[in-house]
A and B are shown apart, each in its own frame.
Chain A
Amino acid sequence: MRKLIIQRLLGIVPVLLLISVASFLLVKVAPGGPFASDRNVSPEIARNLEAKYHLDEPAWKQFLRYMGNLCRGDLGPSLKYRNHTVNDVIAQGLPVSILLGLSSYLFALGLGLSLGAFTALRRGSWQEHFGSLFSLLMVCIPGFVLGPALIMLFAVKWKLFPVALLESPWHLILPTITLGLFFAGKISRLFREGLRETLTSDFIRTARAKGAGERLILWRHCFKNAVLPVISYSGPLLADLFTGSFVVENIFQIPGIGVFMVNGATNRDYPMVVGLVLLYAVILLILNLLVDLAYGWLDPRVSYD
């Protein structure tokens, strides 16, 4: 087990290096520069700006400089928000994004697993059809439709929740639903399929034949197997959620890092884009590792020793 963890952690290094090279090159290839705007600066001032951020150096030198700083944990200055570094932006935005991501994940898991179980156990009944339709709807409604609709009804019309910002737990509820509903739909479908498949397996029949109670069968024997697809889905899902959502952060004015990821690209804020891509990669790789470890814990057929 320990060997596996060390191996995987070491494996992350070359992957990150590859990702940093690729993202660094890609942002440089994009046409237009960080300082292009409707107000042109004189050639002298443009030169001063480029010199300040070393953009006048050849690309390989810029890359080496970037990697050197990266080794010291410095992701560089933001070219758009010139008083902040990328580290500042992450330090301020990441906890917010993780908070929203975590609450959305919990919401999605709670709703998704319950709905999945509900529909799997009522096979063929009207409740199943209704539940499936509901989960389909959850997957189909995009956040940019659901968010404003929730605001219209719950915040503007009935005044139950705040319209935007993030100042109290109340402020978190509508964004959580907006962000989590899609994933709840996905999880419910995954869990339903998993549960159905497991319920028809031989070992369940054996357990029943031995006279085990239904409750025991469901939660002791079925659940662990049925939840595996949800666990493997959770790795990339959580990485997505933790690095913020552009749409939800925009609709609810939440100071996470999702907005910076997208705006960084449109602003040609090179260090911001590369820094956030690397952050996303680290989170994704670590979560995938955790997912693999969770497999070992939940599925007796998987062993890392």
Chain B
Amino acid sequence: MPVSISVLKTFLRTLFFLPRIPGRNGGQENLRRGLSPLLAATGITLVLVTGGCRSSEPAADIVIVNGAEPESLDPAVVTGQAELRVVSALFEGLTRSNPRTGDSEPALAESWFISADRMVYTFNLRTNLHWSTGEKLTAEDVRYSWLRALDPVTASSYAYQLFYLKNGEAFNSGRTNAGAVGVKVLNPWQLEVTLTQPSPFFIDICTLPVTGVVPRWVIEKHGDRWLKASPLPTSGAYELVYWRINEKIRLRKNRNFWETAAARNSYVDLLPVGVANVAFNLYESGAADIVWDKDLIPSELLGELQKRPDFHTFNYLGSYFFRFNTTRYPLKDPRVRQALALAVNKEHILQKIVKSGGVLAHHFTPPGTQNYQAPRGLRYSPGEAKRLLAEAGFPDGADFPRLQYTFNASSGGANMHEKIAIEMQQMWKEVLNINIELRHLESKVFYMAQNQLDYDISRSSWIGDYNDPNTFLDIFGSNNGNNRTGWKNAGYDRLLAEANRQVDPLVRKGLLREAEEILVEKELPMVPLYFYVGVNYYDTNKVSGIFNNLIDVHPIHWIEKKVAASGGRR
């Protein structure tokens, strides 16, 4: 505080050179003369005060606008896309995503052997594994990291991905100890993993950041603040130079990484930007090379941006849909749910509101999902919708109770959810002659309402964790915490369980398809509207190494600034 007072005093003193009373002798001139020292003082103070801002660090090779500020960089804690991108660069797992296809490929593990019953996986680790700080990295580190993610004390939101491990769930809920979990170190370079059932997507699970390998000795020493340790040992292609909250994350190439030539750049800056216009301005002014987050597209510029060669869209594992609360009258009746679904003209919504931000959806599992062929789903059919509603006891909407459509504010401030809600309200009125009220809730209240089944119809979305139909279909299982519809179907549960026990991919495909038919054609606890589209912008003449894939994963170590275009920019 004394600083502000001294500055104030300086200012008051400076002001003594300010204008004399005009009209006597040359007030205007004095005013001008008086103002100049004032302005000079302001300027000098500003320069002095801000002098410390300029840093002397080397310029980054690539600057990426990464989306909202990461909630964490701890592999066991992170859930959002923005965090996952940074975490995968810092902490590698047994496998990782191929940048071109998004498929899992060997990483810390060089190879693996799967038992005949597909219940036991034996991973062979590379023998040249080191932490970024030089220590040896062994199978014991992998085991520790997995058990840590499962440990109830860590309170990892993604721990459920490791519930496929034998006793994984029991350990997480405190019913057994770590020793009982199906992960065993055979020798420093071999890890044996036992599962509860043959899960064909288990290698994809090993790619998820939650399985990333973390340094035990640092975590045991620093506890929750281990990421602040300096130097921080990392197992990925990069090490963390610093992480300034809401300002910048700086990564430096890990020179001890097993794949010595992996990183195509030495320094990478990731800017946490949550406002689409700021992201766009930074990119346009050359302060950033890449913007990669679907929420960072200024919606009002979407039409214009689509025409540009540096604007890239691609299919993505994400679905936008709405849920029915199947515990409430009259939504208990599948015919009512079908009628409401059939009355929605999705094509119109897509053309008018979503535009190129989505692809029409009649089923839940996005197109392109591996080893899968989704069912056809229901199409817009006003006549059939009317008939079904009449059959359910509401001819021409008569006596239909007033229901509410609940939605939350969209991220990025584009009002997308609201616009879609208004459009559907109109469609239900026109086709079925029923009145649906709109209920707009603040995000946290919205999720609470959805969770407690305090809604009739509710906006929803789901992003897949890995490229397999299970990551979508699983959530509508009777006991899944993300079901949030009150819908329980024994047939559906049985099909899913049977599919995930199945060793033959073709049989599995059929079983999953049958399950999804129940979901999107017969029972409809949810109605798919559209599939998300991944969006990023970068100039292909300046940047290479980004490939469009279904899971929207773009390993940072692949990205390279083309030599001809690299200039001395900070």
- Residues in A lying within 8 Å of B, measured CB to CB: 30-33, 35-45, 48-49, 51-52, 77, 80-85, 88-89, 92-93, 99, 102-103, 105-107, 109-110, 113-114, 117-118, 121-122, 148, 151, 155-156, 159, 162-169, 171-173, 176, 214-215, 218-219, 223, 227, 234, 238, 250-253, 255, 259-260, 266-268, 286-287, 290, 294
Contacts and interface: CB of A to CB of B under 8 A. Distances in A.
A83 B444 contact: no
A250 B482 CA distance: 32
Contact of A48 (B31, B70, B152): B152
Given A83-B228, A268-B444, A163 B460 contact: no
A63 B408 CA distance: 31
B160 interface: yes
B159 A45 contact: yes
A39 B278 contact: no
Residue among A41, A162, A227 with max Cβ neighbours from chain B (10 Å): A41
A148 to B, nearest CB: 7
B46 A164 contact: no
14 contacts: A32-B445, A36-B447, A36-B448, A37-B447, A48-B153, A92-B247, A99-B49, A103-B45, A110-B11, A113-B18, A162-B287, A218-B21, A223-B12, A223-B15
B484 interface: yes
A82 B153 contact: no
B73 interface: yes
B277 A106 contact: no
A45 B11 contact: no
Contacts, number: 219
B230 interface: no
B38 A83 contact: no
Contacts of A173: 46
B444 A109 contact: no
Given A83-B73, A163-B282, A39 B172 contact: no
B153 A52 contact: yes
A40 to B, nearest CB: 4
B69 interface: yes
Given A167-B570, A214-B20, A218-B20, A83 B225 contact: yes
A38 B72 contact: no
A259 B7 contact: no
Interface in B38-67: 38-39, 41-42, 45-47, 49-51, 53-55
Dominant SS among interface residues on chain A: helix
A301 to B, nearest CB: 19
B173 interface: yes
Q: Which of A105, A163, A251 has the most CB of B within 10 A?
A: A163
Nearest to A92: B245
B191 to A, nearest CB: 24
A106 B155 contact: no
A26 B245 CA distance: 26
B38 A215 contact: no
B12 A286 contact: no
B245 A89 contact: yes
A105 B5 CA distance: 12
Nearest to A172: B50
B444 A32 contact: yes
B461 interface: yes
A225 to B, nearest CB: 13
A32 B448 contact: yes
B26 interface: no
B482 A39 contact: yes
A121 B285 CA distance: 44
Nearest to B228: A83
Contacts of B451: 36, 40
A106 B7 contact: yes
A31 B71 contact: no
Residue among B169, B244, B462, B481 with most chain A CB within 10 A:
B481
B160 A227 contact: no
B245 A93 contact: yes
Given A83-B77, A83-B224, A250-B274, 8 more contacts: A44-B169, A44-B172, A49-B157, A83-B73, A89-B245, A103-B49, A110-B38, A163-B282
A204 B447 CA distance: 66
B46, B275, B462: residue with the most chain A Cβ atoms closer than 10 Å: B46
Nearest to B483: A40
Nearest to B243: A83
Contacts of A41: 157, 160, 481
Nearest to B247: A255
B38 A167 contact: no
Interface in B437-473: 442-448, 451, 460-462
Nearest to B156: A45
Nearest to B27: A121
Contact of B51 (A156, A169, A255): A169
Interface in B77-103: 77, 79
A191 to B, nearest CB: 10
Given A36-B447, A110-B11, A266-B444, A82 B22 contact: no
Interface string B276-292: 01100110110100000
A223 B3 CA distance: 22
A156 B281 contact: yes
Contacts of B18: 113-114, 117, 219
A168 B54 contact: yes
Contacts of A215: 20-21
A157 B24 CA distance: 44
B339 interface: no
- A-B interface, 10 closest residue pairs, ranked by CB to CB distance from nearest: A32-B444, A255-B247, A169-B50, A44-B173, A163-B281, A36-B447, A40-B481, A48-B155, A255-B246, A52-B155
Nearest to B570: A167
Given A44-B172, A106-B7, A223-B15, A168 B152 contact: no
Given A82-B71, A162-B287, A251-B275, A40 B155 contact: no
Contacts of B152: 44, 48, 51
A73 to B, nearest CB: 16
A290 B22 contact: no
Interface string B162-181: 00000001001110000000
B447 A259 contact: no
Contact of B19 (A49, A117, A253): A117
A268 B42 CA distance: 40
A33 B156 contact: no
A99 B247 CA distance: 15
A114 B69 contact: no
B1 A290 contact: yes
A31 B443 CA distance: 10
Contacts of A106: 7, 11, 42, 45-46
Nearest to B169: A44
B260 interface: no
Given A103-B46, A169-B51, A40 B71 contact: no
A165 B282 contact: yes
B245 A255 contact: yes
B227 interface: yes
Nearest to A42: B481
Best-surrounded residue of A40, A51, A155 (most CB of chain B within 10 A)? A40
A103 B41 CA distance: 12
B24 A214 contact: yes
Contacts of A294: 5, 8
Given A81-B71, A83-B228, A169-B46, A118 B55 contact: no
Contacts of B273: 164, 253
B343 to A, nearest CB: 25
Contacts of B5: 290, 294
Interface centre among B18, B38, B70, B460, by most chain A C-beta atoms within 10 angstroms, is: B18
Contact of A51 (B11, B155, B445): B155
